[in-house]
Amino acid sequence: MSVQLHQILNRFNKPKSGSVLLSEPYLNDPNFRRSVVLISNHDENGSVGFILNKRVDLTTKDVIPDLMKHNFPLFYGGPVEPHTLHFIHKIGDLITGAQHIVDGIYWGGDIEMIDQLIDQKIVSKDAFRFFSGYSGWTAGQLDEELNENNWWVGKADVDIIFDYDLKNMWRNIVKKLGQDFSYMANAPEDRSWN
């Protein structure tokens, strides 16, 4: 079985900016258990991403009260620099300095423009997602973790990235990986329950 699974995993493309990483079902790291990570940057120096399916019981006003007029739910982006605030959005060049990740998905930019764009009804609050901290890998580290089968690589799109069904996000994306993985979407959280 492990040889067959390894052969299946080798069919995945290498991660790149705009890929999603899906933790394998029994990954022991509590930071990444059943997580979906959007890779916002991947190059020879390493990788940066944000966990999409772990909301925390805080909002942007809780962490930086006077940053913006509008308040947003806060997600746990990952264990690196947990006291930093990051955001992704789907409004592109309407925010100065936004970095293109993949079609329809952008990272950061001038945060002071957000209130104005919402107040003018140019965009809605649903166009943004805010994160505390991020997920990061040094050069070669993510490749090592992929070789150890800790992650599966999927393709990102706007519907996946901004899906609010957080409880089922991991499962729903695993099902999209194809027949070879659909049975893993319903794998129990504890391997001993099999």
Position 151 in a domain: yes
Examine residue 45 and state whether it is found in any structural domain, yes or no. yes
Whether the pLDDT of residue 5 is over 90: the answer is no
- pLDDT tens track for 111-163: 999 999 999 999 999 999 999 999 999 999 999 999 998 999 988 889 889 99
Kindly tell me if the per-residue pLDDT of 4 is higher than 50: no
Report yes or no on 192 lying in a domain. Answer: no
pLDDT of 11 strictly over 60: no
Domain containing 18: what range?
2-187
Q: Which two tokens stand for residue 122?
A: 């140019």
Contact at 8 Å (CB) between 43 and 57? no
Residue 194 lies in a domain: no
Q: Which pLDDT score, from 0 to 100, does residue 92 have?
A: 92
The distance between the two most distant Cα atoms of the chain, rounded to a whole number of Å, is 56
Mean pLDDT of 71-94: 96
Q: Is the pLDDT confidence value at 71 over 60?
A: yes
* Residue 8 clears pLDDT 60, i.e. is over it: no
Asked, for residue 96, whether it belongs to a domain, the answer is yes
Contact between 161 and 84 (Cβ < 8 Å): no
Burial 37-47 (b: 16+ CB within 10 A, else e): bbbbbbeeeeb
Does the residue 49 lie in any domain? yes
CATH, residue 22? 3.40.1740.10
Q: Count of domains in the chain?
A: 1
Parallel, antiparallel, or unpaired: how do β-strands 73-76 and 128-138 relate?
parallel
Report yes or no on 193 lying in a domain.
Answer: no
CA dist., res. 75 & res. 116, Å (int): 23
Top-confidence residue, 127 or 191? 127
